[in-house]
Amino acid sequence: MSASRLFRQHVLSLLTFLDFGDPAAVPERDVLTLELDGDRVLHLVLLSEDAWMLLVELPFAADPEHCLRLNQPDGEAAQAIIGLGADGRSLLWLRLPLTGCGETEAREALQSLLRQSAELLASGAEAIADARAAGALA
């Protein structure tokens, strides 16, 4: 089976899991971008003939110390990597194999990525509120 077809199967499975309206209506592309909520954007990306990626963008740069703690090995099969994009915003991503990654593993990977991104989002919102309270931000 071609890489594009395998990727499409993963995309449809995750869109169904996310309760996306009509997954079959989504165009077949190597990159699919979804706005998860007002703050996070999810990208599903076909990287090569044997790998694909889940990537979540946050609207700000998370605290570097917090990111370093989250980048520590945690024993999960699919652990997100946290970094900064060119614009300075935080990114979390998981690289997954195209073959050998079943529906359950892909869903667990997505859940892990969403949980970690929500944690970073909450910590960032808290830090911004603290800075505003201290008068550091207008």
pLDDT in the model for residue 40 = 92
Q: Which residue has the tokens 């994009």?
A: 85
Confidence band, pLDDT 50/70/90 cuts, at residue 126: low
Overall average pLDDT of the 48-71 stretch? 84
CA angle 26, 53, 103 (to 5 degrees): 70
Q: Tally Cβ neighbours within 10 Å of residue 61.
A: 16
- At residue 19, does pLDDT exceed 60? yes
pLDDT in the model for residue 86 = 85
What mean pLDDT is reported for the chain?
83
- Taken in order of first residue, the domains within the chain and their CATH numbers are 3-133 (3.30.1460.10)
Overall average pLDDT of the 77-88 stretch? 80
Q: How far apart are CA 8 and CA 40, in angstroms?
A: 22
Confidence band, pLDDT 50/70/90 cuts, at residue 96: very high
Overall average pLDDT of the 60-64 stretch? 75
Regarding pTM above 0.85, the answer is no
Confidence band, pLDDT 50/70/90 cuts, at residue 65: confident
